[in-house]
Structure 1
């Protein structure tokens, strides 16, 4: 189990608080007869947390979320015995989804990761639905088939919605500028107004059913345009607002999905399908934008390295380092003699070494890391330079995953390897 630093502890407390809050909202909208929430938002929170934390933190994260789930369930809904059983089933399902993404899509393209995530969510929710529904049917004498169906639907919708929102908020797609901020703000305002107009209409309102369904497509088109124009984070925030509007008015029995003749619960199911389809479209927009950013970065790297550039290949199992011989710069020449991670760590501070190891571990689990990492390198005899690691990639080969990293010397280095010592 990994050592829990102060920053990691704060992150853990944040995810537990978010899990509790979304769980309270879900149980507030639950179905009293089946004892299953209409939509289980914490599923998406837990899956996102497992995807973000390294595997070494999973046991600690599982225990923290498990205790949070038990506390929530006992306080608002079930007996302790039922709470323990349902909490274990629910969290095991969330962990299984994250494990499938890490195992089957590590070092793969983002489209594959989204596909594995979706298939794992659909499949594991069936198993957890059968287990949870079986327990509730056995202990509380409720309809088994209906409970399994509601469990599956609520878990799938909650995972799709919250994972799309949280992962979109946490992935940095680029710095804001005035044009992106203004365009995103205008589209967000139009989205909220259109969603409010469509979903605050009462059942049997002035608009016909066909027209109401047609109008419901307008917020979806605006929703997809926002991340294209203003980035994934703005898109995730807009989708959060959009989901709140749709869920609130649908819960109040307003909107186009409350069609006369539908059975109780079916209109809410239609609203969930509507949001889930929008979330999947948004996820594929995320993938395309990230692929475009990756291609742009690759073109920049291929355009030529400057005087302070280097690239390395790391074999995690052996710790062997190999530097790209096609890059001929003063920095790469200085680093060529470093052949393993122990030699590299000798040139770094303890804090930078720990941070670099965490980044490598993340790449092994997630396939890449596009965040910039800045550190200082103490080159012999006494040169100390500032270096940034701009990108890490995980490439799967016959011997396992190989990590590829790209370094560049920061222009504000106090002492550069291009200048004589003491100049």
Structure 2
């Protein structure tokens, strides 16, 4: 195996180890499953970003990173191997199955695929892990499953979009950011950090607004703004920064979630996990919808350019006429064929002035007579100069009350029409 093929898997293993160590530090002492497990997102991101043919060294090094992490934590080697096969093996199977699906992993499809991977991998690995701890240590199956599955799911929702958005695997298709959008996004990002500080490590909200827990909603608003302005990458980065701040403050015993659990028997980290899962899903959905809209606009613009080019090459003009407002909408090279820009051929009277006086009445009647759209013969007519012959092919559309609603058609210009247009200096 070439050494350069090991660089990326080794880098993933290092990142896995670092985030695993950080998760252990944020968790503190625990008996079975930790409340935070960010390497789950590293595993899913690495598998999505790596071709299937190169998975073997990646999986081996990820397992090695987990074993090394367990050795530092003074855990048994065989238990770490079982844990690795459960966490990493299940994630690999689920990602492999999702990658075989026919839909592309972008936009809303990316959100759907990520949710399928996250829920499936976290629940399946949690079932195996909870069953093991129940058999070996007599721990509650449902409680261990709840903690295991939620920590894996949140780790996937937090880390995978960041890795996907800032690598060659693109969850969104976004172009360059305009200067105004960049500055507004930067201001929103700074406001998100400031509001997160206010919510988790400040008493300003209590002193000024006489509230505490409600300020945790404010960072979600700014995450939504960052995602709208910066796209999926900015939104994922905002969620990651919010998660880091929230986890650190929570581990230090600060923040509303710590005080909230003092009122009832719950766990602050579990409360925080749900909060961050909602933040990540909010960012993902906004990014996906924004991407879908931008892609739709790109497709429409590309289709319009193709139609315009085809009409221009075949010396044709397509039009629609609103019979109520008597205004035209043109497609094609209007100025080259008629000698006037489309902006000067907007109303019916302006268009008819381009037609020979002998044909104006016939053409007006053809457009406004209210036919029901059945097949009718094409109508030849001449332009104002009398030299160019144009063939009009048009149909009418009636509404539910048999009133004329729309007229659409095509003007086909003969070679003689083109020569006349060129003679006018077009």
TM-score range, shorter chain: 0.5 to 0.7
Asked if 1:136 corresponds to 2:138, the answer is no
Asked if 1:86 corresponds to 2:83, the answer is yes
Asked if 1:303 corresponds to 2:300, the answer is no
CA 1:231–1:130 in structure 2 vs 1: closer, same or farther (change >3 Å)?
Answer: closer
Give structure 1 stretches of 5+ with no counterpart.
Answer: 308-423
Aligned runs of 1:230-379 on 2, under 5 Å? Answer: 230-257=230-257, 258-259=259-260, 260-263=262-265, 266-304=267-305
Asked whether the 8 Å contact 1:48–1:166 carries over to 2, the reply is yes
1:25 CA drift (Å): 0.7
Q: Deviations over 1:93-122 (max 9, x none)?
A: 221332243133534763234224313422
Identify the match of residue 41 of structure 2 among 41, 44, 63: 44
1:48 CA drift (Å): 0.9
Identify the match of residue 62 of structure 1 among 46, 59, 67: 59
Asked whether the 8 Å contact 1:41–1:159 carries over to 2, the reply is yes
Asked whether the 8 Å contact 2:27–2:251 carries over to 1, the reply is no
* Range with greater deviation from structure 2 (191-200 or 93-102): 93-102
- Specify the alignment match of 1:13 in structure 2: 10
1:33 CA drift (Å): 4.0
1:20 CA drift (Å): 0.9
- Cα distance in 2 between the residues matched to 1:256 and 1:175: 38
CA 1:110–1:188 in structure 2 vs 1: closer, same or farther (change >3 Å)?
Answer: closer
Q: Deviations over 1:62-81 (max 9, x none)?
A: 12211111111222242101
TM-score, structure 2 as length reference: 0.64
- Cα distance in 2 between the residues matched to 1:256 and 1:207: 16
TM-score, structure 1 as length reference: 0.65
Aligned runs of 1:105-116 on 2, under 5 Å? Answer: 106-107=103-104, 110-116=107-113
Asked whether the 8 Å contact 1:98–1:117 carries over to 2, the reply is no
- Cα distance in 2 between the residues matched to 1:69 and 1:160: 20
Structure showing greater relative contact order (alpha-carbon pairs closer than 8 Å, 6 or more residues apart) = 1
Asked whether the 8 Å contact 1:169–1:236 carries over to 2, the reply is no
Q: Deviations over 1:41-66 (max 9, x none)?
A: 00011101111111112222212211
Asked whether the 8 Å contact 1:100–1:116 carries over to 2, the reply is no
CA 1:175–1:14 in structure 2 vs 1: closer, same or farther (change >3 Å)?
Answer: farther
Tell which structure's C-alpha radius of gyration is larger: 2
Does the residue aligned with 2:75 lie in a helix, a strand or coil? coil
Give structure 2 stretches of 5+ with no counterpart.
Answer: 310-426
- Cα distance in 1 between the residues matched to 2:59 and 2:102: 22
Asked whether the 8 Å contact 2:181–2:230 carries over to 1, the reply is yes
Aligned runs of 1:98-247 on 2, under 5 Å? Answer: 98-104=95-101, 106-107=103-104, 110-170=107-167, 171=170, 173-201=174-202, 206=207, 211-247=211-247
- Cα distance in 1 between the residues matched to 2:174 and 2:154: 25
- Cα distance in 2 between the residues matched to 1:230 and 1:153: 28
Asked whether the 8 Å contact 1:169–1:237 carries over to 2, the reply is no
- Cα distance in 1 between the residues matched to 2:74 and 2:35: 14
Does the residue aligned with 1:104 lie in a helix, a strand or coil? coil
1:280 CA drift (Å): 0.5
Does the residue aligned with 1:101 lie in a helix, a strand or coil? helix
Asked if 1:28 corresponds to 2:25, the answer is yes
- Cα distance in 2 between the residues matched to 1:114 and 1:236: 13
- Cα distance in 1 between the residues matched to 2:99 and 2:56: 16
- Cα distance in 1 between the residues matched to 2:163 and 2:238: 12
Q: How many residues align?
A: 301
1:5 CA drift (Å): 7.0
1:297 CA drift (Å): 2.7
- Cα distance in 2 between the residues matched to 1:273 and 1:182: 31
- Cα distance in 1 between the residues matched to 2:208 and 2:96: 47
Asked whether the 8 Å contact 1:16–1:68 carries over to 2, the reply is yes
- Cα distance in 2 between the residues matched to 1:180 and 1:108: 26
